[in-house]
Structure formats: structure tokens, C-alpha cells
Amino acid sequence: MTYMMLFLVLMMLFLFSGVGPILGGIFGSVLQPVIGFSGEYPILTIVLAGVIVVMLSGSLTNFFTDWTKMGEMQQTQKAFSAEMQKARREGNTNKVNKLMKMQPELMKKQQEASSGSMKSMLFLFIFIWPIFIWLRTFLAALPHYYVTVPWANNVSLFSWPFGFGQAWIWIYFIFSIVVGQVIRQGLKYISWSDWWKNIKSRISPTQTR
């Protein structure tokens, strides 16, 4: 999901860069006083922006995703694939045909189980894309946007270290991959608790049916 998000964010930045100053101004009015630090700590600003996005993505994904159903579906898919491979290996054409007939229904259930994640993506982009726009606008306005790293001095946050994606985007995503996994696993653990299930059922009863 992280790499897909990186691709989508880069596409949005490219296609809709003209509205960046407008969105930057709206989100900057909220984010800049909180995590801007008057431009003195750009890396910390990037990291905290990553924390906000990870928390938003984790919370929304947790709310819309039924992890129990997802786990059951993964086990079912694994068992189905094992049976299909066994039938083909044994040359059991009859069993292969029966399993093939079951596949559309299995795919339908898989889509239903993952529909929550798709719903969360819509809400994520409402927040994630503008935060990236603000972050780029904020960093570009800094009088000095060079940082020192262990292997080099005066590295520009807008350089292209890997030929794809500016340095500040890579800083954000590397941090998000490491810390995001911890946050998501913690939220997933909470989502399995009876406490969260009770809250979720009161907020959105249809999600638990």
C-alpha cells in the first residue's frame, strides 16, 4: 500500500500542481503553527507530517476494515490455492473444474472483505494529498532547505537521490514505512479488542453485520 500511495501522491502532485498554493494556504493555517517550527527544523516537520498521515491512514483503515473477515478470507484463499495446485498436480480434471466454478464466488467474497480498504482510500486522499501539497509549499518557501546527512553535507531536500522522487518525499516514506508498521500493528491489535468492536458497532452498526 505504501508504494501505491507514493505513486498516487506523485501523480497528484504532477497533475494538480497548479492548486498547490491554494491548498497550501488552507492546510498551512492549521499545520504550520503546530509543526512548522518557523522553518527551523524541516526534517522534524517532515517526520511529524508523516506521523499525522500514518495516524490518519491507520485509523481510517482500521475503522473501515473488518480484520477478522480479512484474515478468514486469506486463509480461505490459501486453502483454495493449495487444493487447486494439488488437483492439477494429480491431473484430477473433475476437481479442477469444480474449483474453477467456485472461483467467481470466492472472488466476490474477497472483494467484499477488501471493500473497507477501498473506502478508506477515498477519505485518505482528502487529507493526504493536501498535506503533501502543503509540505512541498512550506519547504520551498524556506530560506535554507539544505540538510546534513552522515554521507554528505548540504543535501537539498528537493534533490532526486534515486532518480525518482525528491529527497523530502523519500525521507517521509522511509520514516513512514518504519514507524507506520508499528502504528498500524498497534491499531490492528486494538481493532480486535471487544472495546473497539463495541465502539465501532455504536458508530456504524452496519460495519459489524
Tell me: the pLDDT tens digits for 173-188?
888 788 777 877 776 6
In angstroms, what CA-CA distances link 33 with 53, 56, 171?
Answer: 17, 19, 22
39-62 pLDDT, tens digit per residue, is: 889 989 998 988 888 887 777 777
d(CA 133, CA 32): 13
d(CA 57, CA 82): 33
What does pLDDT average to over the chain?
75
